[in-house]
């Protein structure tokens, strides 16, 4: 039953990451006419964050599916992932969440909620 926490965190991160990746072209277009190099950097960073969310979510789910969730290794992985999510949430809170874009404002809460679920899973 406690694996449910990891599954919830993982699913939320995978969905959030995919939702991040889907509008990449529209997001880049929303910046208007920018140079080719700046557009490439913007797209690279946008995709990198989406891939990070999906990867962290997938790893959380795979650890539970493989049966490592209740052991020391699984607990360590969940705590490291949670720490990384808190760092990303802090970065987003200090940057993107200070814009008018509602999704940027929601992102720190989604990442912190997933981090909390992973930490709870590591101690239950």
Per the structure, the complete domain to which residue 87 belongs is given by: 3-123
pLDDT digits (tens, 9 = 90+) for 25-65: 999 999 999 999 999 999 999 999 999 999 999 999 999 99
pTM, rounded to two decimals: 0.93
Task: Tally the domains of the chain.
Answer: 1
Q: Which of 33, 28, 53, 31 is nearest to 43 (CA)?
A: 28
Neighbours of 1 (CB within 10 A): 5
- What is the average pLDDT across 83-112? 94
Which of the four pLDDT bands, split at 50, 70 and 90, describes residue 103? confident
- What is the average pLDDT across 74-103? 94
Residues in contact with 85: Cβ distance below 8 Å, sequence separation at least 6, in sequence order: 13, 56, 111, 112, 114, 115, 118
- The DSSP letter of residue 22 is T
Q: Which residue has the higher pLDDT, 12 or 104?
A: 12
- Residue 69, pLDDT > 80, answer no
């Amino acid at each position: 039953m406690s694996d449910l926490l990891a599954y919830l965190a993982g699913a939320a991160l995978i969905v959030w990451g995919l939702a991040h990746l889907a509008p990449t072209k529209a997001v880049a277009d929303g910046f208007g006419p920018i140079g080719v190099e700046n557009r490439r950097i913007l797209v690279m960073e946008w995709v990198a964050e989406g891939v990070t969310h999906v990867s962290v979510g997938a790893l959380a789910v795979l650890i539970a599916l493989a049966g490592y969730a209740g052991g020391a290794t699984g607990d360590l992985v969940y705590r490291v992932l949670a720490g990384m999510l808190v760092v990303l949430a802090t970065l987003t809170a200090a940057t993107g969440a200070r814009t008018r874009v509602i999704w940027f404002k929601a992102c720190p809460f989604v990442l912190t909620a997933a981090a909390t679920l992973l930490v709870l899973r590591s101690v239950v």
